[in-house]
Amino acid sequence: MCFECVKISRRKFMSYAAAGAAAAGYWTVGGALSPSFAKTSMSADEALAKLKAGNQKFVSAPQLCAAELTNNRSAVAKGQSPWATILTCADSRVSPELIFGGVGLGELFVCRNAGNVADTAVMGTIEYGAEHLGSPLVVVMGHSRCGAVQAACDVVEKDAKLPGSIKPMVDAIVPAAKAMKGKSGDFVDLSVRENARLNAQKVMAESEIVKELAHGGKLKVVYARYDLDTGAVEFLG
């Protein structure tokens, strides 16, 4: 249920370890995280099981999914140890903390943009969450009827012209739509799934930090689709 980690040479391992230590020192000196604040002890599989259980709760009893915030803010004010990183769409209906069962402050490390694209800022954010904060799981999650993916499908199918910065943003999703064009099934939904898969693959393929952690059994990258109608998150791979 995750991308196979890629073996890297010992020489590369040592260079990444050194780079990671230097980066950790810099970040700590920068005050982003208290050195004494423990990372989560949760494994990737445990984090995945917790997300699935939380989403099941959201589907079956959404009225119970408000986070308990009374003491939450003060408990995490001095540091954070998120147990999962979520890359998902900016769509206002896809709030990870809610759809995963009412998760409190300090638990999920979240990156969002239209179309859940792993661009440079997202790649760095995921690396920071994994390497420095110790998040053991990365979930790339698209959703049904995604407007950004719809726009990419329109570019591929109808040569749609998009204004401003929307065009280059959507261009990043076009490869997923091109790959699904002509396949049987709903074009947009197939492209949503393919876009999530491609971006999860990119996280694994292009981040040496992610590769190294995955190789060491400390990180998994999976991808998923959220259904706007049912509230269910389907983990696809």
Q: How far apart are CA 4 and CA 2, in angstroms?
A: 6
Burial class (CB in 10 A: 0-12, 13-18, 19+), 62: middle
Q: How far is the CB of 185 from Zn ion (least distance, A)?
A: 19
Q: How far is the CB of 147 from Zn ion (least distance, A)?
A: 5
Q: How far is the CB of 23 from Zn ion (least distance, A)?
A: 32
Q: How far is the CB of 56 from Zn ion (least distance, A)?
A: 23
- CB-wise, 91 or 127, nearer to Zn ion? 91
At residue 117's C-alpha, the angle toward residues 113 and 121, to 5°, is 75
- CB-wise, 133 or 149, nearer to Zn ion? 149
What are φ and ψ of residue 91, in 5° steps? -45, 130
Q: How far apart are CA 125 and CA 119, in angstroms?
A: 10
- Residue 19 CB-half CA count within 13 A: 12
Neighbours of 196 (CB within 10 A): 30
- CB-wise, 72 or 113, nearer to Zn ion? 113
User: Which segments within 38-175 are labelled E, that is strand?
Assistant: 84-89, 108-113, 137-143
How far are the Cα atoms of 51, 102, 137 from residue 107, in angstroms, in the given order?
11, 10, 12
Q: How far is the CB of 20 from Zn ion (least distance, A)?
A: 33
- CB-wise, 85 or 144, nearer to Zn ion? 144
- CB-wise, 89 or 155, nearer to Zn ion? 89
- Residues found near Zn ion in the complex (CB under 5 A): 89, 91, 146
